[in-house]
Amino acid sequence: MLCNPGPRALPRSGGPVCSGDRKRTTEIMRGHCKRLTNEPASLWQDHYLAVEFRQEMEKRSRFCAEWQGKFLHGKDLLEFANWHEFFGLHRITGEDWCFREWLPQAVSVALIGEFSAWQWDQRYELQPAAEGCWCGYFPPDAFRHGQQYQLKVHWPGGEGWRLPSCATRTVRARNAVGGLVFNAQVWEPEAYHWQHDYSGTDAPLLIYEAHIGMAQAEERVGTFREFKDKILPRIAETGYTCLQLMAIAQHPYYASFGYQVANFYAPCDLFGTPEELKELIDAAHGLGLRVVMDLVHSHAVRNELEGLANLCGDRTQFFHPGPRGEHPAWGSCCFQYGKPEVARFLLSNCRYWLEEYRLDGFRFDGVTSMLYLDHGLGRVFSSYQDYFGPNCDWEAWNYLAMANELVRQCRKHACTIAEEVSGMPGLGAQAQEGGCGFTYRLAMGIADYWFILLDRPEQDWPIRKLWFELNNRRQDERTVSYVECHDQAMVGGQTFLFRCLGERVYNAMHRGCDDPAVLRGLALHKMARLATLACAGHGYMTFMGNEFGHPEWIDFPREGNNWSYQHARRRWDLADDQGLAYHCLWRFEQQMLKLCRRQPDFFSCRPQLLKCHDQDQVLVFERASLLFAFNFHPRNSYPDYACPCPPGSFRLSLDSDAEQFAGLARLEPEQTCFTRTVPVAGALETQIRLYLPSQTALVLRKID
Q: What are the residue numbers of the active site?
A: 365, 419
How far, in Å, CA of 298 to CA of 368, rounded?
Answer: 9
CB-facing half-sphere around the CA of 74: CA atoms within 13 A: 0
Pairing of strands 242-246, 205-211: parallel
How far, in Å, CA of 253 to CA of 240, rounded?
Answer: 30
How far, in Å, CA of 555 to CA of 563, rounded?
Answer: 10
- DSSP SS3 for 566: coil
Please give the single-letter amino acid code of residue 412: K
How far, in Å, CA of 291 to CA of 363, rounded?
Answer: 10
* Residue 34 neighbours by CB under 8 Å, 6+ apart: none
How far, in Å, CA of 325 to CA of 338, rounded?
Answer: 13
Question: What distance, in Å, lies between the first and last C-alpha atoms of the chain?
Answer: 46
Q: Nearest-5° angle of CA 543, CA 549, CA 550?
A: 70
Candidates 227, 198, 196; CA nearest to 210 is 227
* Residue 345 neighbours by CB under 8 Å, 6+ apart: 83, 165, 166, 264, 318
How far, in Å, CA of 663 to CA of 666, rounded?
Answer: 8
Burial class (CB in 10 A: 0-12, 13-18, 19+), 281: buried
How far, in Å, CA of 511 to CA of 110, rounded?
Answer: 65
Please give the DSSP secondary-structure letter assigned to residue 36: P
Q: Are 444 and 485 in contact (CB under 8 A)?
A: no
How far, in Å, CA of 483 to CA of 502, rounded?
Answer: 17
C-alpha distances (whole Å) from 44 to each of 36, 230, 511 are 19, 47, 53
C-alpha distances (whole Å) from 312 to each of 107, 197, 318, 535 are 9, 40, 11, 51
How far, in Å, CA of 350 to CA of 9, rounded?
Answer: 27
Question: What is the distance, to the nearest Å, from the Cα of residue 548 to the centroid of all Cα atoms in its chain?
Answer: 19
- DSSP SS3 for 495: coil
